Amino acid sequence: MKANDLLPIGELARRTGLSVSAIRFYEERGLVEALRTSGNQRRFLRGDIRRLSFILIAQRLGLSLAEIEEALAGLPQGRTPNAADWKRISGSIRKRIEDQIASLEKMRDSLDGCIGCGCLSLKKCALYNADDKWGESGTGPRVLR
Amino acid sequence: MKANDLLPIGELARRTGLSVSAIRFYEERGLVEALRTSGNQRRFLRGDIRRLSFILIAQRLGLSLAEIEEALAGLPQGRTPNAADWKRISGSIRKRIEDQIASLEKMRDSLDGCIGCGCLSLKKCALYNADDKWGESGTGPRVLR
DNA sequence: GCTTGACCTCAACTTAGCTTGAGGTTGCAT
DNA sequence: ATGCAACCTCAAGCTAAGTTGAGGTCAAGC
């Protein structure tokens, strides 16, 4: 391990599997911060590997960048999450997963009851009314699940 | 029931819960077809209520419009799906749901094993490697699950 | 000292599934 | 015959999470 622990962006990309452009994008979003060389090149701390890994994992678990931002913002001064933070955060993530599973199971059961029925009557069809929370919410694309 | 069964777009919107603009969009995508009055206004068949309902239900089950298009294209000459078609189509939908549930359960279990670990070490973390199929796929936004 | 790969910024593009707005026409009831 | 809601067509905009490209700079090895 060399004297200074500062990583250029390409190195960080190789270490995390992210693309360089994605890391720059995250910096723009405020999810990571970077020091700069005199020549304006980014230099990251080793801890940022961990921070980005956290982002990656949280993403896989279905959190949006906005939600991740919020989770990270809950930590004092951009600290990288440690085991204790992780424990706290993972609790709420677990709940999300449970909810999703429950919702899918409900759908599956409705579907089973519906096969061969073919009614497709809105208002009456259990499937159609199975899970009201996927309704509309504001503008933009309808929530892509 | 009046003599002609042709519905103007607003009526169809009210009957299905879709917005007028969404129906026009679906027509553009080729998911529904419309007759036109001499004054160029759309007139839909009653059966299109059912067709649109099918689209709505399929969407809730996680199919994209492209997939729905495909499913509907499998039917001769833009026929509205009946009970038999529905049975066939619902089989593959059920599989999708099962797969999603399985994948979430795997994640939940990994998460449980991970709480308190906090390692967040890529390459080693079971959570990170839990479900490789959520990888990248071409351009555009990463698949939003 | 020079080449070359890694880096920089900024703007525009991507996909999905629509919505919104401008500017104009239709069709039904009175 | 007229008023007015409902309809029409386009074009542009929205969100999310980045990618791609143009045009230019940096830094490290030879």
The C1' atom of C25 and the CA atom of A17 lie apart, in whole Å, by 56
pLDDT exceeds 60 at position B144: no
Name residues whose C-beta falls within 8 Å of residue A31's C-beta, 6 or more positions apart in sequence: A51, A55, A65, A68, A69, A72
Euclidean distance between CA atoms B109 and B125, whole angstroms: 13
Chain centroid offset of residue B65 CA: 5
Nearest nucleotide to B23 (CA to C1') is C18
| Residue pLDDT, tens place only, A1-50 | 444 689 999 999 999 999 999 999 999 999 999 999 999 999 999 989 98
| Of the candidate ranges A96-100, A120-124, B13-17, B91-95, the one whose mean pLDDT is the lowest | A120-124
- Closest protein residue to D16 (Cα–C1'): B141
Find the mean pLDDT for residues A53-74. Answer: 85
- The burial of A23, by beta-carbon neighbours within 10 Å (0-12 exposed, 13-18 middle, 19 or more buried), is given as buried
Beta carbon of A118 within 7 Å of strand C?
no
Beta carbon of A142 within 7 Å of strand C?
yes
| Residue pLDDT, tens place only, B85-110 | 777 777 777 888 888 888 888 888 87
Confidence at residue A89, expressed as pLDDT on a 0 to 100 scale: 76
Beta carbon of B59 within 7 Å of strand C?
yes
Percent of chain B exceeding pLDDT 90 equals 31
A6-112: CATH number: 1.10.1660.10
The residue among B116 and B86 whose pLDDT is bigger is B86
Confidence at residue A105, expressed as pLDDT on a 0 to 100 scale: 87
With H, G, I as helix, E, B as strand and everything else as coil, classify residue A116: coil
B104 vs A contacts (CB less than 8 Å):
97, 100-101, 104
The C1' atom of D21 and the CA atom of B36 lie apart, in whole Å, by 45
Closest CA to B80 of B47, B46, B31: B47
pTM of the model: 0.74
Minimal CA separation from B39 to chain A, in Å: 31
Find the mean pLDDT for residues B106-124. Answer: 67
